[in-house]
Chains A and B, each alone.
Chain A
Amino acid sequence: MWRDLTGYAIFAFCTYFVLLCAFYIFFDITAKGLPVLMDKGTDFLTKSPETLVVFKDEADEIVQMPMSEYSVFRKDNPAAVIRDEHTHSYSAGGIMGPLVGTALLVIVCMLVALTTGVATAIFLNEYARKGRFLNLVRLAIMNLAGVPSIVFGLFGLGVFCLWPWLPVLTYEPSESAVLVFAVPFTDGWLSFQGWGTSILAGGFTLAIMVLPVIITACEEALKAVPMGFREAAMALGATKWQAIRTAVLPYAKPGIMTASILGVTRVAGETAPIMFTAALAHKGALPWQEAKGSGLFWLSDFLTQSVQALPYHIYTVSARIPQSEYTEPMQSGSVFVFMLLVMIFAGLSIYLRGRYRKNLKW
């Protein structure tokens, strides 16, 4: 009796201890980050990172100013007393740039990953016959799921950034382009020059990384649709594709939605794959402010820009710049916002899946 109880207690302790550790991390990061967010208000979300200037004024009081404000201040008050001036990179302003960059990367990634993922899942669940090809595909997906994210980063760097046979639309083709076509009726070119460090390269890299997750989740959604639906549609004379389109996909839609949110959770939190494929530590303007041209040319220019990304920004401010008390608010604030965002998506996917599974009683 006592031995049973002790065993029981040990198992329970292990379970709750893990949850407690995780909870402590949430708590600690919230406790440090929330005050920063309260203090800086919406500025933290609507301004981009800037260099912070710290100095002592004539009253010997420590003044902190973002670089942009500081240069205006110096111009207006050329006679101002400034002592002990020092700067801290990325420690002022907010995280608008990184937020936007992460959002763009996630959008591009999900567009690519959902298209291929859903199509693959449809093939695996609806079309494929048991055989060598199916086994091979399943093996590949399973193995792809285990590949370290940094390896995807290297792969993305090799393929999407540096391989020259990927086309862009541009007004000024690069010298390293392997093939250039003039686009009729415009003065632009279709240039095969690779995508470089860009949203596109990062998005595709992330998409490849998240593909196994999406495929598995979509397959689950398709499997949940009863066989009878397909048979009924076919019996009514529908072709295979018509049956899928009218009798399977509409009922699998909530499941596919869940899969995509699960994918967003995975992708938004990743740093390693975008380190060399998309992310940049510093960028002055937001991507749409720098894109040139019109129409498709604008889109191409827009998508081949590098961006700041929130996880990379956190890496930069917490490990790559000298640490000081003035950098801390930026660190805790960005980590808190980032964690909150990812957690919201995670919560949403868990909630949706729970609800979806509950409703799946045909």
Chain B
Amino acid sequence: MAKQFEKRDRRFLGIGVQSAIKGFFGGNALLSIAILLLICVFLGKEAFLFFPDHHKGLQLYRKSGQEYVDGMKRQVEDHADLNSLMAQAYFAEKADIAGREWGVVDAFGYLVDLAEDEGEDEIDAWADAREELEDAEEDAEVKRAESEARAAWGEKLGEILAKADRAEADRFGRLEAGEWERLKASMAEWDPVEEEPPAFVVQAEKDLKAKMGTFEAARNAFAAAVGPLNDLKETLRGKAMVVKEEAEADLTAVARKKALVEGAAASTNSEDRQRRLDEAAAIVIREKFPFAERTEVFYESKPEHARLAAEYLVALKAAMELVPRAPGSKEAEARLTQIRSELPDVLQDFSRNSVMVQEWRHDKPYGWWRSISAFFFGKDWVTNSSWHDFFGLLPLFTGSLLISVIALMVAVPFAVSAAIYVNQLARRWEQTIIKPAIEFVQAIPSVVLGFFGIMVLGTFLRELSQVEALSWVPGFPMAERLNILNAGLLLGLMAVPTIFTLCEDALNNVPRAFGEASLALGASKLQTVWRVIAPAAASGILAAVLLGFGRVIGETMVVLLVAGNKIAIPDFSEGIGVITQPAHTMTGIIAQETGEVDKGSLHWRALFMVGLILFVISLFLNWTAQRIIHRFRIA
């Protein structure tokens, strides 16, 4: 031992062994700083290269006239939303005030379709026989053949009617008692060649027309109002596409030409060389793509657009006039009220889009601020599209935020209560069981939780949402199994251990004298916990919640598996029911798309940009939590 502790002071290059060892350890400690910086550099590099490219893409979007066409597209789409409401109103009204007639006509249509489908051969045979009979009325042979064919058809009809399924013919239960039988009976009289419907069906058709005629006309006029505008949009869309493709090809023209010439030089096959040279010669290299010339067609279409837009407004107004003031159905009334209330906004958007379309100029410079805000506040994340790729963060951010908020709303009460219980109220043996058990919960891998969400929780929630007694809950019954609520609940379970552990630490840090003083003053245990200990630990609890939030918003696998992965801003019009919709998240999009994009492409950089934002969010939450702990520390 003595030898081992002998002082040695060897030096190498003037550095002592001791300081070298210290340097080694210090270097390792430096590594964590270096990694943090490297993350900043690597994410930041890709992410900040994103903006120039993104800006260029948006400039091309304007120059090629795509922006111009999209202005019209938005007008058409807004109309389509109203139109679907109108259709809902129309069908609700039809079902309510003319349900019986509609049912009769539909069921009859079903029977006729079935008969013509199944009995096609018999009908044809009978039709032929009748034709022959017309030519030769006296011929006994022909007469017999005709009656045989008629009998065959009658037999077939019997089979068909036996097969006819009432549930299929009258899916919404609109037929009144006895009518199904009446319809079936009337089929025996029905002539498959003349195709004349029986009198009561004709009557039903007439009644239907009388009751719904004006509404139908209104609906058709409403749907048709946007037609010409849509046609114009479709024509221009194709043209803008061509301009964009050519302009993009122009960007690579020099490189392609060079590659072809080089390939030709290296080629040994003379035919092949000639082909390459020809191809190279065909590539025109332009100094500048003639956007002004190519987009003339859009400028020329501006008057037409103005005219069509004005016509649309007139047609829309006329169609709205036709709509019945007092529909018989509550549902239809609700939908029509919705249309009337949304109409001013839609019209405002319409005129704004019209102005945008009219003022569009291909050479108006695209502002930097606009292209940056197009990323942060853009409402679309559309990739791999042949039209234009949009990189808007908002749908992903909303999804992440909604899921995290739900997770916290679930986790915080449970985690904080559990921490208070374990730290203050539980017996000693309970503590020794609960604490490790909660650590076990923390160890459940997220992919396992996600699997559970797909297989068990999703099905359970959906079945629960279909229970009649719960239909008052907003968002119930839910359409999708994988949705925000499902992901939020699982993430809530995941966040409990994190928040629990940190809360427990915070409670531990409350000086014992606080509790003792309170008890000595005669407060009960629960009063002490609630009025003294918990407030004293409030800053620590807040920090725990923030760190839990950081954990939840950065979680990937659960949201990737369970959130439903629908890239759209959830529809908030349902209020709290929004949580039963599917969504996509920032972490999910990175996990899903990074593996499949080309390195260095705009899409790739957009994903790194999303990563950078996640990184910044997590740093900010961490920093705030530390500040809170530091600031409100009890001395």
List A residues at the B interface (Cβ < 8 Å): 3-4, 7-8, 10-12, 14-15, 17-19, 21-22, 25, 28-29, 32, 115-116, 119-120, 122-124, 126-128, 136-137, 140-151, 153-155, 157-159, 162, 208, 211-212, 215, 233, 236-242, 246, 265, 268-272, 275-276, 311, 314-315, 318-319, 331, 335, 338-339, 342-343, 345-347, 350, 354
Contact = CB atoms under 8 A, between A and B. Distances in A.
A18 B496 contact: yes
Contact of A146 (B425, B557, B561, B618): B618
B328 interface: no
A45 to B, nearest CB: 18
Contacts of B622: 142-143, 145-146
B599 to A, nearest CB: 6
B32 A338 contact: no
Contacts of B557: 271-272, 311, 315
Interface in B81-100: none
Contact of A318 (B436, B441, B450): B450
B226 to A, nearest CB: 39
Contacts of B560: 315, 319
Interface of B is mostly: helix
The 3 closest A-B pairs by CB, nearest first: A148-B554, A269-B445, A14-B417
A136 B448 CA distance: 36
B446 A269 contact: yes
B618 A151 contact: yes
B368 interface: no
A315 B448 CA distance: 9
Given A3-B526, A137-B32, A239-B18, A151 B615 contact: yes
Contact of A314 (B26, B451, B547, B595): B451
Contacts of A350: 436, 439-440
A11 B29 contact: no
Which of B30, B32, B493 gathers most chain A CB within 10 Å? B32
Contact of B25 (A14, A122, A335, A342): A122
B550 A146 contact: yes
Nearest to B422: A15
Contacts of A238: 4-5
B419 to A, nearest CB: 9
Interface in B473-522: 493, 496
A342 B17 CA distance: 42
A22 B425 contact: no
Contacts of A347: 440
A166 to B, nearest CB: 13
Nearest to A15: B418
Contact of B39 (A151, A269, A272): A151
B325 interface: no
Contact of A127 (B26, B441, B595, B626): B26
A8 B446 contact: no
Contacts of B39: 147, 151, 155
Nearest to B546: A146
A4 B442 CA distance: 31
A211 B444 CA distance: 20
Contacts of B414: 14-15, 17-18
Given A19-B434, A122-B25, A276-B595, 16 more contacts: A4-B524, A14-B413, A15-B417, A18-B496, A120-B29, A141-B32, A148-B555, A150-B556, A150-B587, A153-B591, A208-B35, A272-B587, A314-B451, A338-B447, A342-B445, A350-B436
A128 B493 contact: no
A146 B619 contact: yes
27 contacts: A11-B425, A14-B418, A28-B452, A29-B451, A119-B25, A119-B28, A140-B33, A146-B619, A146-B622, A147-B615, A148-B553, A148-B555, A148-B614, A150-B554, A150-B590, A150-B611, A154-B608, A211-B35, A239-B5, A269-B445, A269-B447, A272-B591, A314-B448, A319-B450, A335-B451, A343-B444, A354-B436
B249 to A, nearest CB: 27
B421 interface: yes
B94 to A, nearest CB: 39
A120 B32 contact: yes
Contacts of A147: 39, 554, 615, 618-619
Given A159-B38, A162-B599, A238-B5, A212 B32 contact: yes
B635 interface: no
B31 interface: yes
Interface string B441-478: 11111111111101110000000000000000000000
A335 B5 contact: no
A346 B443 contact: yes
A162 B591 CA distance: 17
Interface residues of B, number: 89
Given A7-B530, A236-B5, A338 B619 contact: no
Interface in B7-57: 7-8, 17-18, 21-22, 24-26, 28-33, 35-36, 38-39, 42-43, 46
Contacts of B553: 148
B26 A338 contact: no
Contact of A269 (B25, B443, B591): B443
A202 to B, nearest CB: 14
Contacts of B526: 3-4, 7-8
B353 interface: no
A155 B42 contact: yes
Nearest to B439: A350
Interface of B: 4-8, 17-18, 21-22, 24-26, 28-33, 35-36, 38-39, 42-43, 46, 413-415, 417-418, 420-422, 425-426, 434, 436-452, 454-456, 493, 496, 524-526, 530, 547, 550-551, 553-557, 560-561, 587, 590-591, 594-595, 599, 607-608, 611, 614-615, 618-619, 621-623, 626
A318 B28 contact: no
B525 A4 contact: yes
Given A11-B421, A137-B32, A241-B21, A311 B440 contact: no
Contacts of A126: 25
A144 B32 contact: yes
A311 B447 contact: yes
A241 B18 contact: yes
A151 B614 contact: yes
Nearest to A347: B440
A311 B594 CA distance: 18
B452 to A, nearest CB: 5
A154 B590 contact: yes
B138 to A, nearest CB: 57
A243 to B, nearest CB: 9
A25 B5 CA distance: 56
B445 A155 contact: no
A269 B525 CA distance: 40
Contacts of A212: 32
A149 B588 CA distance: 12
Given A18-B441, A242-B4, A149 B554 contact: yes
Contacts of A335: 448, 451
A317 to B, nearest CB: 9
Nearest to B35: A208
A216 B388 CA distance: 48
Contact of A19 (B29, B437, B454): B437
Given A12-B425, A146-B547, A120 B436 contact: no
Nearest to A157: B594
Contacts of A314: 447-448, 451
Given A15-B434, A142-B626, A151 B43 contact: yes
Nearest to A197: B595
A319 B455 CA distance: 11
A192 to B, nearest CB: 18
B454 to A, nearest CB: 6
A137 B34 CA distance: 10
Contacts of A339: 444-445, 448
B507 to A, nearest CB: 12
B39 to A, nearest CB: 5
A155 B43 contact: yes
Contacts of B607: 154
